[in-house]
A = this chain, B = another copy of it.
Amino acid sequence: MKLGCCYYPEHWPEDMWEDDARRMADMGLSLVRIGEFAWSRIEPESGQMHWEWLDRAIDTLGNAGLKIILGTPTATPPKWLVDTMPDMVAIDEQGQPRGFGSRRHYCFSHNGYRAEARRITVAMAERYGDHPAIAAWQTDNEYGCHDTVLSFSDAAAGRFRAWLEARYGTPHALNETWRNVFWSMEYRSFAEVDPPNLTVTEANPAHWLDYRRFASDEVVSFNREQVDILSKISPNRDITHNFMGFFTEFDHHDVGRDIDLATWDSYPLGFLEQFWFDGDDKRDYMRQGHPDIAAFHHDLYRGCSNGRWGVMEQQPGPVNWARFNPAPLPGMVALWTMEAFAHGAEFTSYFRWRQAPFAQEQMHAGLLRPDGEEAQAADEVREAARVIERLGPQQTVKAPAALVFSYEAAWVCGIQPQGGSFRYLELVYGWYSALRRLGFDVDIVAADAALDGYEMVFVPTLPIAPDGFVKRLSALDCPVLIGPRTGSKTHSFSIPDGLAPGGLRDLVPLTIARVESLRDGVAEEGDGFEVMRWLEHIESELVPEFALKSGRGVVFRNENYRYCGGWPDRPLLTALIKRMSDETGLATTVLPKGLRIRRTATHQFAFNYSSEPVLFEQTGQTIAPASFAITALTT
Contacts and interface: CB of A to CB of B under 8 A. Distances in A.
Interface string A482-496: 000000000011111
A515 interface: yes
Interface stretch (A221-229, A252-260, A442-450, A517-525): A517-525
A528 to B, nearest CB: 22
A324 B517 contact: yes
Given A181-B11, A320-B418, A79 B200 contact: no
Interface in A558-587: none
Contacts of A103: 183, 200-201
Number of this chain's copies in the assembly equals: 3
A539 to B, nearest CB: 9
B495 A358 contact: yes
Contact of A365 (B181, B359, B514): B514
Contact of A359 (B94, B199, B206, B514): B206
Interface in A25-53: 37-41, 44-45
A517 B326 contact: yes
A320 B279 CA distance: 30
A101 interface: yes
A420 B318 CA distance: 14
A187 B79 contact: yes
Contact of A179 (B40, B180, B358): B358
Interface in A68-103: 73, 76-80, 83, 90, 94-103
Contacts of A76: 183-185
A172 B124 CA distance: 25
B318 A181 contact: no
A626 B519 CA distance: 20
Contact of A178 (B205, B317, B359, B370): B359
Contacts of A361: 182
A516 to B, nearest CB: 4
A90 B201 CA distance: 12
A196 interface: yes
- Of listed A73, A181, A187, residue having the most chain B CB within 10 A: A181
Contact of A186 (B11, B79, B370): B79
A376 B514 contact: yes
A541 B534 CA distance: 58
B499 A101 contact: no
B98 A519 contact: no
Nearest to A282: B519
A102 B183 contact: yes
Given A185-B40, A418-B363, A420-B323, A79 B207 contact: no
A527 interface: no
Contacts of A194: 99-101
B99 A198 contact: yes
Nearest to A324: B519
A148 B418 CA distance: 23
A493 B420 contact: no
Interface in A193-213: 194, 196, 198-207
Contacts of A77: 184
Q: Describe A's contact surface by its main secondary structure.
A: loop
A77 B186 CA distance: 10
A346 interface: no
A326 B360 contact: no
B516 A325 contact: yes
A327 B512 CA distance: 13
A127 interface: no
A622 interface: no
A362 interface: yes
Contacts of A207: 101
B516 A98 contact: no
A161 interface: no
Contacts of A518: 286, 324, 326
Contacts of A201: 102-104, 145-146, 360
Interface string A1-27: 000000010110000000000000000
A323 B519 contact: yes
B202 A102 contact: yes
A188 interface: yes
Contacts of A356: 179, 182
A370 B516 contact: no
Contact of A419 (B204, B324, B497): B324
B282 A186 contact: no
A359 B178 CA distance: 7
A184 B357 contact: no
Given A95-B96, A359-B178, A420 B324 contact: yes
A540 to B, nearest CB: 14
13 contacts: A37-B182, A40-B181, A76-B184, A101-B198, A101-B204, A286-B518, A318-B514, A324-B420, A324-B518, A326-B518, A362-B493, A371-B498, A373-B513
Given A102-B183, A178-B358, A318-B515, 7 more contacts: A37-B184, A77-B184, A100-B194, A101-B203, A202-B360, A318-B514, A324-B421
